[in-house]
Amino acid sequence: MFHPLVIFSYFVIVLFVTMFTSHPVFLLCSLAGGVAFCGVLSARRQFLSDIGFYIVVFILLSLANPLFSHNGETILFFINDNPVTKEALIYGEFIAVMIIAVIFWCKCLNEVMSTDKTLYLFGRVVPKLSLLLTMALRFIPLFKRQAEKINKSQKTMGFYAADNLPDKVGGAMRIFDSLIGWSIENSLETADSMKARGYGLPERTTFSIFTFRLDDAFMLGLMAIYLLIFIAGKSAGFLSFHFYPTLGRVGITELSAAFYAFMALFMFFPTLIEIKEQIKWKYLESKI
């Protein structure tokens, strides 16, 4: 319900501070906020399936770092005379937390920032780039649906009669070949359609249903305050943490606890708004 500028600015800030912060408390808050918001936006079955997949990704990413990096003083065991240290293992775990948090926030961004919002923000400034971005985001779900249609059509035609690996590989290649042809044809049709409508011309006007309201100004002000507090906390050393050569300690004081609480509240803010709107919708629906 917020203005596209507010939504885009929020995700840019969250992604930026998540990717350039290595503090364990902050990374865990970011991951929890992204998972919670994605859980509110997604269907339950799809969300649980994603959680299972990212648990496997977390384990693989966590184990990759200590196998290639042998920094740290606390040696746990040796693999082919190479030490596996506790510091490298924990550092790998929090690198995995950061990567998965960024992925979840990007999934939420893809869900919230629709194509019309993207075109509204960047259509006049960079029309070609905005069209490319919207087409790329739009093609991801279209590819999945088209692949399912092609797969069902080929099963109906009897292409998967034999249940063996060569038949499955051949079927996957046929699906991929059909998808490439379909995507190129669809892209050309979209480009011709946009050109015929005068997209990108200076004198062309665009219709918009978005208006900047008082709530949007409040959210932008809140994000500005968040950035100032984030910069102040980083300057004060609240986000300083080292993994090598030994693990640092998370100092908890009244001021740092208030800082972490505000960071966590900001990460969970869209989830709280979405839950509030869903409760309001259920209440109004019950009154019908």
Question: What's the pLDDT score for residue 239?
Answer: 81
Return per-residue pLDDT of the chain as tens, 288 residues.
888 889 989 999 999 989 888 888 889 999 999 999 998 888 888 888 888 888 888 888 888 888 887 787 788 788 777 788 888 888 888 889 999 999 999 889 888 887 778 777 776 666 666 667 666 666 767 777 888 888 888 777 776 655 667 777 777 787 888 888 877 887 788 778 877 877 667 676 666 678 888 988 999 998 999 889 888 888 888 888 878 877 778 777 888 888 889 889 999 999 998 888 888 888 888 887
Residue 134's pLDDT is: 67
3-class SS at 54?
A: helix
109 and 159 housed in the same domain:
no
Nearest to 42 by CA among 135, 107, 117: 107
Domain that holds residue 159: 140-196
Residue 128: inside a domain: no
Q: What is the predicted pLDDT for the residue at 35?
A: 92
48 & 162 share domain: no
Within 163-253, residue ranges assigned H as helices are: 165-196, 214-236
pLDDT reported for residue 224: 92
- Is residue 130, in this structure, part of any structural domain at all? no
Residues 152 and 12 in one domain: no
Check whether residue 22 and residue 86 sit in a common domain: yes
What is the pLDDT at residue 127?
66
User: What pLDDT was estimated at residue 285?
Assistant: 84
Q: Are residues 48 and 94 in the same domain?
A: yes
Are 54 and 149 in the same domain?
Answer: no
* Distance, CA of 48 to CA of 57 (rounded, Å): 14
Question: How far is Cα of residue 271 from the mean position of the Cα atoms in its chain?
Answer: 14
Residue ranges with strand state E in the chain: 75-79, 82-85
Question: What is the count of structural domains for the chain?
Answer: 2
22 lies in the same domain as 54 = yes
In a domain, 236, yes or no: yes
Sequence-distant (≥ 6) Cβ neighbours of residue 259 within 8 angstroms: 229, 233, 238
252 and 189 belong to one structural domain: no
Q: Is the same domain home to 109 and 8?
A: yes
The reported pLDDT for the residue numbered 200 is 65
Residue 133 lies in a domain: no
Structure tokens at 89: 């293992």
**Same domain assignment for residues 185 and 223:** no
Q: CA dist 209 to 4, 117, 218, 219, Å?
A: 11, 10, 20, 19
